[in-house]
Amino acid sequence: MSGRKYAFSWNLLGDINIGRPHLGNQTRVEAYRLMQFTLRDVIEAKYGTEEADAVFYAAGKMAGQAFYEYYLKGIEDVGEFVRELQAKLKELKIGILRVESMSEEVGKLVLTVDEDLDCSGLPEIGFGICVYDEGFIAGILENFTDTPYVVKEVDCWCTGDRTCRFSAVRAH
C-alpha cells in the first residue's frame, strides 16, 4: 500500500523524555479513554458497530505485536514470558494480569486483567467493550507462539463483572 500517511511504527511514539521535560511520561486515564472512546464513536457512526469493533481488534492486535517486539522479543520460556508480560503491564499501568489457567503448550488460556485501563470503573452497559484488549492479547500471543489465537472477553467491568476475563484459544 503506497502513499500511507500513518503507517505505525514504535518510533512514532516519539522520545517522550525529550518531548515532555515538565509533564513527564504520565497522563491521566481520562485522557486515554477520551481519545479512544471518541475515536470509536466516530468510526462506529461512519462505518457501523461491527466495523468499529473489527478496527479496534485489528488496532489492538497491531499494538500487541509491537508491544511484543519491543518488550518481550527473544523470551522462549512460557513462565518467563508471563512474568515479563505481567511486569510490563504493571509498569505501563495497563492492568493487573492474572493467569487463571494455561493448558499444555499454551493451547488454551484463561486470563484476567484487573483494573483494566480501557474499562475499569465504567458504567455497567450490559456488554463487554474491551475489543482493543482482545486484539492486544491476541497479538502478543500470536507473536510469542507464532500461531494465531482467538481471544474473547468473557467477563468485563461493563457487563457488571468488575474484572475483565479473557479466554484465548489457539486457532487451528
Partner 1 sequence: MSSPFRLEAKDGLSELDEAVEYFHSLMFDPRPKDRLPSSLEGNEKALSLENAIRETRRVLQKMRRGEYDYSVSTKGLVGGLLKALQSNLRHVIWTARCISEGDLSQRIDFMGEFSEVFNLMTLRLAEATQNLKEEAERWRLALESSQDGVWDINIRDLDNPFLSHNFLEILRTPFEAMPPIRRWGEFIHPEDIEALEVIRACLDDSYPKSTLDLTFRVKCGDDVFRWRSAKGQVFRDEAGHITRLIGVIGDIHARKMREEEISRRAMHDALTRLPNRELFGQQIHRMMAYASRTGTCLALAMLDLDNFKQVNDTMGHHAGDLLMVEVGRRLQKSLRQSDLVARIGGDEFVMLLPCATPNHEGLLKVMERLRANLSRPVDLDGTPYSITVSIGLAVYPCDGDDPLTLMKCADVAMYRAKALGRNAWCFWNPEGDRKEPQPPSQV
Residues lying near partner 1 in the complex (CB under 8 A): 77, 79-80, 82-83, 86, 90, 96, 98-102, 110, 112, 114, 124, 155, 157, 159-163, 165
Q: How far is the CB of 168 from partner 1 (least distance, A)?
A: 14
Q: How far is the CB of 120 from partner 1 (least distance, A)?
A: 10
Contact call for residues 70 and 9 (beta carbons, < 8 A): no
Separation between Cα atoms, residue 110 and residue 87, nearest integer Å = 18
Separation between Cα atoms, residue 96 and residue 84, nearest integer Å = 12
Residue 156 binds to Zn ion (criterion: CB under 5 A): yes
Residue 163 binding result from Zn ion, partner 1, none, given CB thresholds of 5 to 8 Å by partner type: partner 1
Q: How far is the CB of 172 from Zn ion (least distance, A)?
A: 27
Instruction: Count other C-beta atoms under 10 Å from residue 57's C-beta.
Output: 19
Quick note: the x/- pattern for Zn ion over 106-145, rule CB under 5 A, is -------------x----------x---------------
Chain mean position to CA 149: 14
Q: How far is the CB of 160 from partner 1 (least distance, A)?
A: 3
Separation between Cα atoms, residue 138 and residue 57, nearest integer Å = 9
Contact call for residues 90 and 96 (beta carbons, < 8 A): yes
Residue 164 binds to Zn ion (criterion: CB under 5 A): yes
Q: Which is nearer to partner 1, 11 or 101 (CB)?
A: 101
Separation between Cα atoms, residue 70 and residue 91, nearest integer Å = 14
* Residues within the interface to Zn ion (CB under 5 A): 119, 130, 156, 164
